Amino acid sequence: MRFLLLPVLFSALAAGQDAPTGFVRTPEVSIAYWMLGQPGSATPLFAVNGGPGLSHVYMLQNDVWPKVSRTRPVIFYDQRGTGASKVTDNNVPQTMEAQVEDLDAVRAHLHFDKIDVLGDSYGGVLAMAYTAAHPEHVRRLILSDSAAPAWGDQVHLFPQVFPDKLEAQQKNADPEEGLRHHFQLIFYDEEKAAKYLAGAKDLGLAPGVGAAVRRATTKLDLKPALSKFTCPTLVITGRYDMNVAPLTAWKIYKAIPGAKWEVFEKSGHLPYYEEPEKYIRVVEEFLGR
């Protein structure tokens, strides 16, 4: 019945209007999570969104994840202080350790011993940190246009490629509008960028949270942990990702023993939106059952 209603489900998800499946309450935060699909024999996939300071909604602007959820449950959650995940006060820590334990709290709440983890953009950093902290729970890891394991290692090409557009953005004081301008620059295909932004009415921006996370993780360096990863890992990059250049993904791929590498030749930062059918195929083949 769930799949017969897929168009209705997708419409609600894309609009960001769906109610959370549930909440995990800790002393610091009430973590909202969403489960697509039903638990079964396949390992659940936790899709960790980027930002920092965005809700999960930006990842749900097409039907890629509902389609993936036909064969396995796909779990999204809003990171502390974003979207529907409300913190007890504005002074709760935004350290990577706190972020990792929030993810693990959702996993434990759902009684999943083993999970697959997909980290998108900044979410890739959180996914790497989670794998380093809880390798016993990670079956397979996907890093999709992931940010670098240390902020200083980021290869960010906007200044070299879009100096005129960046200067125009700096004149805009509205954070939400600035974010939308940012999203215009992360696509390979201008028509797909326009379609994405037309459908994405609210990208769930929480600027204060993003700033707090960056302050708390300034000295974070996960590079030493990567060589110790033992779970199968897939590193994905869009060939024309100006936000996180493919060189960043290449260095991550080279640092993780036995990692697999996949380039999306007609994509920028969001290959699951620009090349969705290939993305589904690559992810499902890597995850298996």
What are the Cα distances from residue 158, in Å, to 50, 162, 185, 189, 190?
A: 18, 5, 8, 16, 16
Class of domain 6-157+204-287: alpha beta
Separation CA 84–CA 179 (nearest Å): 19
Amino acid at 60: L
Structure confidence at residue 10 (pLDDT): 37
Torsional sign, CA 271, 34, 233, 42: negative
Return the pLDDT at 177: 85
pTM of the predicted structure, to 2 decimals:
0.92
**Token code pair at residue 177:** 């509008």
Of 122, 59, 57, nearest to 96 by C-alpha is 122
pLDDT of residue 168: 81
Residues 25-30: contacts with CB within 8 Å, 24+ apart? 26/101, 26/102, 26/105, 27/88, 28/80, 28/87, 28/88, 28/92, 28/93, 28/98, 29/80, 29/81, 29/85, 29/86, 29/87, 29/88, 29/92, 29/102, 30/85, 30/86
pLDDT in tens, 54-80: 999 999 999 999 999 999 999 999 999
Contacts of 17 (CB under 8 A, 6+ apart): none
CA distances in angstroms from 235 to 67, 86, 134, listed in the order given? 21, 32, 19
Question: Across the 289 residues of the chain, what is the mean pLDDT of every consecutive 10-residue run?
Answer: 30 54 96 94 96 96 97 97 94 96 98 98 98 98 98 92 87 81 94 94 89 96 98 98 97 98 98 98 94
